[in-house]
Amino acid sequence: MQELKDKIALVTGATRGLGKGIALALARQGATIIVNYPPFESEPVTVIQEIVDLGGQAKAMMADVSNYEQVQQMFQRISAEYGQLDILVNNAGTAQAKDIFEIEEEDWHRIVETNLSSGFYCSKMAMQMMREQQSGRIVFISSMVAHQGAIFGHVHYSASKSGQLGMVKTLARTAARLGITVNAVAPGIIETELLFKTHGKEEVGKLAASVPLGLGRPDDVGNAVAFLCSSQARYITGATLDVNGGMYLR
């Protein structure tokens, strides 16, 4: 049984890494996927094809989700083409390996706007659509560092991911009476291109050795998101699901 059949799901930053893993996991459960990608990337033909190969349906929609005007335009298109939105996954994000002595003002704004402001913009627009339906699922992709802080630097990244959890809790209270749940997934060390880009192969090896279950895969996160979007999670809201292989326990 496909739990998410006939559901329309928007996954931001869905061209690679966690976003791609999430998009594929939702597609396996029957959801039609809107694959969001930023203007500086080429159209995600590969992701779309992989979803089609699974027997699913998908469409690419370009928008810089840190830009409110572009987010509004994307949601206008979603409304016109689908007339509904059942799932929003706020996944778009980036990281930067700098400590507080190296971070410039523009670094701070870029990370916070990409990771945090985007979630606010998309959630605001999604909740307007979901309110009309009296149903919906919103999931933020946060991080283990929101709980424990980063091992090295990343103060802007940690702040943005912690901010997401505060947003989740507040939106969950607002959304509950509208039939909408709002939750987060906090991944640990997941094997993605961004991980190797920000840490390097040697450091990633050391990090992997420190995780009881080793490095995670994007589909580990995708399966957690799919659960939170399913009817089985109907009574879960304002929660954070840790997917970190036992690296951080709370």
Query: Which domains does the chain carry?
Result: 8-243 (3.40.50.720)
Q: Read off the tokens for 220.
A: 């580990």
pLDDT at 199: 67
Q: How confident is the model at residue 198 (pLDDT cuts 50, 70, 90)?
A: low
26 token code pair: 């939702």
d(CA 118, CA 107): 16
Q: pLDDT at position 237, please?
A: 98
133-164 confidence digits (pLDDT tens)? 999 999 999 999 888 887 666 889 999 999 99
Residue type, 40: F
Could you list the active site residues? 157
CA angle (61 as vertex; 20, 96 as ends), nearest 5? 55
Confidence (pTM): 0.94
213 pLDDT exceeds 70? yes
Asked if residue 103 has pLDDT above 90, the reply is: no
**Category of 245 on φ-ψ map: left (φ > 0), alpha (ψ -120 to 50) or beta:** left
Q: How confident is the model at residue 192 (pLDDT cuts 50, 70, 90)?
A: confident
pLDDT tens-digit map of 8-62:
999 999 999 999 999 999 999 999 999 999 998 888 899 999 999 999 999 999 9
Let me know: does 95 contact 71? Beta carbons within 8 Å: no
